[in-house]
Structure 1
Amino acid sequence: MGLLTFSLNVTLDGCVDHQEGIADDETHAFFSRLMDEAGAMLWGRVTYEMMEAYWPAVARGDEDATAAMRDWAVKLEAKPKYVVSSLRTAFPWTNSHHIGGDLRTSVQKLKEATPAGVLLGSGMLATELDRLDLIDEYKFLIHPGIAGHGPTLYQRGLASTRRLELISSTPLHNGTVAMHYRRAPA
């Protein structure tokens, strides 16, 4: 069974607004490596729609982009993408699939069917999956900034504190720090 890894850009004050981070070649290369290691992507509908509105055009060459951004887009185009949504069932972007029904059962089946693991990139969905004890690892890219606004990581709250073990921390040249945590044993 593959691991479910939650990965996201986050500022020092917990802001996960995609416009607040450093979007340079080093950041895109970091996320391209994470995607290479995973067998599939998992998003909520809102994240899917945000990604779908931009990255397919980059992959086709319809948008100006750096080589690292284009590499990310092309890999994302080919990667299986699973979307949790109760409002929408059709996801036309290449290799996109709907996940419906019982969230715990559906995501557990996805983990079992994806030995290389699943990379989760939606904050609100992560809160729900963490409440169900389905997230195994966390790989955050911490950006050197204080946004002073939300949305914030886990703003909907958890029932109890999640204890994590640090696996690694890697500073990047652009000032961000890649943090890799695993759930601590109970």
Structure 2
Amino acid sequence: MGTLTFSLNLTLDGCVDHQEGIADDETHAFFTRLMDDAGAMLWGRVTYEMMEGYWPAVARGEVDAPPAIREWATKLEAKPKYVVSTTRTDFPWTHSHALTGDLRSAVQELKDATPDGVLLGSGQLAVALDRLDLIDDYRFLVHPRIAGHGPTLYQAGLGATRRLERVSTIPLTNGAIAVHYRRAG
């Protein structure tokens, strides 16, 4: 059985607005390595739509991009992508699939069928999956910024505090810190 790893950019004050992080070669290389290690991506509809509106064009060479960003886009194009949505059923981006049915069962089946693990990159979906005790690992890139606005990580709240164990902390030269936590036993 594969693990479900929640990974996201966030600021020191917990803002997860994708425009608030540092988007440089080092950041993209970090997320490319995470994606390389995972067997599939998992998103909610909003994240999927944000991603499908930009990255396929980068992968096709229609958008001028540095090598690290083009590498991310090309690898993302080839990666299986699963989307949870109650309002949309058609996901035409290459290798995209709707995850349907009971959320707990569907995500558990995806984990079971993906030995290399699933990389989750949607904040709202992460809250729902954390409430179902389905997230195994947390890999955050904490940026040296204070946004002063939301959305924030776990803004919708959890039923109880989630205890984690630190696996690693890696400083990046751009000032961000890559932190890896695992659910405490």
C-alpha deviation, 1:125, in angstroms: 0.1
- The CA distance in 2 between the partners of 1:75 and 1:138, in whole Å, is 21
- The equivalent residue for 1:143 is 143
- The equivalent residue for 1:22 is 22
Residue type of the alignment partner of 1:22: I
C-alpha deviation, 1:100, in angstroms: 1.3
> How many residues end up aligned between the 2 structures?
185
- The CA distance in 2 between the partners of 1:39 and 1:105, in whole Å, is 18
- The equivalent residue for 2:63 is 63
| Runs of at least 5 residues in structure 2 that lack an aligned partner in the other structure | none
Q: Which runs of 4+ in 1 moved over 3 A?
A: none
Identity within the alignment, %:
77
DSSP 3-state at the match of 1:142: strand
Residue type of the alignment partner of 1:42: L
Residue type of the alignment partner of 1:113: A
Residue type of the alignment partner of 1:43: W
Written as runs of structure 1 = structure 2, the 5 A alignment for 1:75-154 is 75-154=75-154
Residue type of the alignment partner of 1:46: V
- The CA distance in 1 between the partners of 2:66 and 2:52, in whole Å, is 18
DSSP 3-state at the match of 1:175: coil
Residue type of the alignment partner of 1:13: D
C-alpha deviation, 1:15, in angstroms: 0.2
- The CA distance in 2 between the partners of 1:155 and 1:66, in whole Å, is 33
Residue type of the alignment partner of 1:161: T
TM-score (norm 1): 0.99
What is the RMSD computed on CA atoms of the aligned residues?
0.3
C-alpha deviation, 1:145, in angstroms: 0.3
Residue type of the alignment partner of 2:37: E
DSSP 3-state at the match of 1:106: helix
- The CA distance in 2 between the partners of 1:10 and 1:66, in whole Å, is 23
Q: Deviations over 1:113-148 (max 9, x none)?
A: 000000000000000000000000000000000000
Residue type of the alignment partner of 1:12: L
DSSP 3-state at the match of 1:110: helix
